[in-house]
Chain A
Amino acid sequence: MNGGPLLEVSGLCVDYGAGPGAVHAVVDADLVLHRGEVLGLAGESGSGKSTLAYAVTRLLRAPGMITGGAVSYHREPGQVVDLLAAGEAELRVLRWSQISVVMQSAMNALNPVLSIGSQLTDVLRAHRPDMGKAERRARAAQLLTMVGISADRLGSYQHELSGGMRQRVMIAMALALEPQIVIMDEPTTALDVVTQREILEELTALRERLDFAVLFITHDLSLLVEIADSIAVMYAGRLVERAGAGALLRAPRHPYSLGLLSSFPALHGPRQHLTGIAGSPPDLRQLPSGCVFHPRCSYAMDRCLTQAPQLLPLAESDAAGPQRAAACWLHDGSATAPPELSAPSLAGSQP
């Protein structure tokens, strides 16, 4: 997008468990997050999107483990850190100061027995040893006001705040060290739509101020309409499509993306028939052969039952937009894609 690459994930494979019973939660994932970009990671529950995000930061819980691939963090242009090879000490330094996390449920992510203020200042104490106690407190107060919470709530506990306020505290916490990347794992799923809107507006304003990149994980594509620059769609642990947000939403290339888009109605425009996607998400332990989506795909060809498609770069390109890619045999040049999957994507435009 506008900046150079910030986080590069190539061929990432993540398993839960070992041996023959292992579940392949993420298979061969390729992603690039650019500086200042909002990359949306979309997919159903169980598609592997959260697993991918946590694995990238090595925060995945047992029995998850990374079984292949590479993750490079471009701290500065030219200064690359291999996150998979980093040791505990190196990760500790990088974490939060470069990459921070906002989780879905602030109620579970905030420590119930420590005050909000103490949870804000302990990051400062760990990463900015030269800051004094008063300085830290001032900074914590500043962070709260930045997300629209009064500074006198520093001494409050998380059970004394509303759901929306808790989420804002999480965001404030995540920005405490002004990181380059904030990973947001379904940050608004647990909130009502009104609060959701407020949080998203807050987020946009903060991005304007601090210019950090966001990896925004959600199952709700309609959200990504609002804030994403590019979108990656995941299905059964695999990336099936990557495109600029506008391009994806106007002109999807993968049948799954098309299905997702047809699953939520537009508020305006003519009434449409809601189609959804037939079938249900696959059991990761018993995946279909060939293309994992083929049982639910209305465009499946014979080839799809035996050969799994790779994420192929598409010939077309948005001049200023990111390289499009889709994992579908319809687009490898040997077949002709139906019109709904080959609509023209306007170059470089954003919704």
Chain B
Amino acid sequence: MAIGSSTHLGAAQAADDGPIPAGAARGGRSRLRLPSSPKVLIGLGLLIVFLILAVIGQWIAPYNPARTFSTTASFPLPPSAAHLLGTTQQQQDVLSQLLAGGRSTVLVAFVAGLVATALSIVVGVTAGYVGGLADDLLSMLANFFLVMPALPLLIVIFGFLPQSQGGDDLLIGLIIAITGWAWGARVLRAQTLSLRRRDYVDSARIVGERGWRIIGFEILPNLIPIVASSFLFTVLYGVGTYTALAFLGLVNPNHLSWGGMLFYAQVAGAEQSGYWWLFIPPGLAVALLGTSLALLNFGIDEFINPRLRAAGLTRRRARRAGMAGAARLPRRFVLGVTPVVSGQSTQTGRAR
């Protein structure tokens, strides 16, 4: 699972330097202007599709995903009229499995995301706000979990877990959450630290507002974009990790999920024998779910750090804005060469 999302570095930079999302600088609550670039809309749209699928997938599937069909064929059948995405080696309908398998993946990922985000808020904000020894200890805890390679640890845990427990979505989500909360905690801690130094927090403290009220009303609202980004990131991580674990056969194989479908694909030697319908549909589903989350994250990053939005003035934009001298603009803004666009000023002035 390739994870090095922009949230990593963008947020790290943002957190260290302390730029606050638009609106927070005024003190207190920030008004959320939701980002609306095409990236975000596509991501959101895809995500909603997947969420709906997770709920109704089982009902719209043409067949029962576990039902086996003919008993004569011993290898997976390619797509046909009866089975739009072909069959597995056990002659089960791939399309039905795909539709029904989404629920498990989405559920585990979201449970993992929620629990991990909750943990990261508790640890991160406490560490940032309270400081001192508590901060040192909590930071060390977070760093420990950050450095520990997650998948090998999870493999070991699930390896030792008896098969029967390996089918419980909630438990799996919980275990995955334990490995995934640390990054968010670190980012939230850094941001809390920088927020804490802001004047409006100081004044709240001087006036005598209680700690948790300050946290609740002054600090948390300004952390919302980062929390949202962290949540999405953790869900993304959950999707990938759960799929990986299922692919490795560490999750009860009778429990249907996209990762499980890939496990069976591997068992059937899909890539060697060219049974593409066994691994492309589930793999693509996971990839698209992940992409929707990553796109949303992209949008939130741009919201947190407005400088990341597509750069200032380009020739295309100028034309769209109806600027007279647009054609004379360079195609894009070059640092250190301020463009000269004549004839734009509407101020009275002497003739040029």
B312 and A63 within 8 A (CB): yes
B345 and A18 within 8 A (CB): no
Residues of B within 8 A of A37 (CB): none
CA distance A11 to B342 in the complex (A): 12
Residues of A within 8 A of B329 (CB): 65
Stretch of B99-107, B141-149, B245-253, B317-325 that contacts chain A: B317-325
User: Is residue B72 within 8 Å, beta carbon to beta carbon, of the partner chain?
Assistant: no
A65 and B349 within 8 A (CB): no
CA distance A78 to B312 in the complex (A): 38
Residues of B within 8 A of A91 (CB): 336-337
B340 and A66 within 8 A (CB): yes
B352 and A66 within 8 A (CB): no
Chain A residue, CB-CB nearest to B323: A18
State how many angstroms separate the Cβ of B65 from the closest Cβ of chain A.
54
Residues of A within 8 A of B336 (CB): 58-59, 88, 91
Give 4 nearest A-B pairs by CB, closest first: A62-B312, A19-B321, A67-B344, A13-B345
Chain A residue, CB-CB nearest to B351: A11
Residues of B within 8 A of A62 (CB): 311-313, 333, 335
A28 and B344 within 8 A (CB): no
B334 and A88 within 8 A (CB): yes
CA distance A341 to B300 in the complex (A): 56
Chain A residue, CB-CB nearest to B348: A308
CA distance A101 to B343 in the complex (A): 29
Binding site for B on A (CB under 8 A): 11, 13, 15, 17-19, 22, 24, 27-28, 54-55, 58-70, 84-85, 88, 91, 308, 310
CB contact under 8 A between A27 and B323, given known A11-B350, A58-B336, A69-B352: no
Residues of B within 8 A of A28 (CB): 347-350
A61 and B335 within 8 A (CB): yes
A13 and B349 within 8 A (CB): yes
B337 and A88 within 8 A (CB): yes
A65 and B313 within 8 A (CB): yes
CB contact under 8 A between A66 and B339, given known A13-B345, A24-B345, A27-B345: yes
Residues of B within 8 A of A310 (CB): 350
Tell me the chain B residues, 285-323 only, with Cβ under 8 Å from chain A.
311-313, 317-318, 321-323
Residues of B within 8 A of A15 (CB): 344-345
A65 and B347 within 8 A (CB): no
CB contact under 8 A between A58 and B337, given known A18-B321, A19-B323: yes
- Contact among B322, B333, B335 with A19 in the assembled complex (CB-CB below 8 Å): B322
Query: Number of B interface residues, CB 8 Å?
Result: 28
Chain A residue, CB-CB nearest to B326: A18
CB contact under 8 A between A60 and B338, given known A15-B345, A18-B318, A67-B344: yes
CA distance A22 to B323 in the complex (A): 11
Pairs across A and B, CB under 8 Å, 14 listed: A13-B349, A15-B344, A18-B313, A19-B321, A55-B338, A58-B338, A59-B336, A62-B313, A62-B335, A66-B341, A67-B343, A68-B349, A69-B352, A88-B337
CA distance A66 to B322 in the complex (A): 17
CB contact under 8 A between A13 and B337, given known A18-B317, A18-B318, A69-B352: no
A63 and B338 within 8 A (CB): no
Residues of B within 8 A of A11 (CB): 349-350, 352
CA distance A201 to B313 in the complex (A): 42
CA distance A265 to B67 in the complex (A): 93
CA distance A80 to B32 in the complex (A): 52
B349 and A27 within 8 A (CB): yes
CA distance A296 to B317 in the complex (A): 38
CA distance A326 to B333 in the complex (A): 36
Chain B residue, CB-CB nearest to A307: B348
Residues of B within 8 A of A64 (CB): 338
State how many angstroms separate the Cβ of B340 from the closest Cβ of chain A.
5
State how many angstroms separate the Cβ of B31 from the closest Cβ of chain A.
20
Residues of A within 8 A of B325 (CB): 67
Residues of A within 8 A of B335 (CB): 61-62
A sample of 20 more A-B contacts (CB under 8 A), given A13-B345, A65-B338, is A11-B352, A13-B349, A15-B344, A17-B313, A18-B323, A18-B344, A19-B322, A22-B344, A27-B347, A27-B349, A60-B338, A63-B312, A63-B313, A65-B329, A66-B340, A67-B325, A67-B344, A68-B352, A91-B336, A308-B348
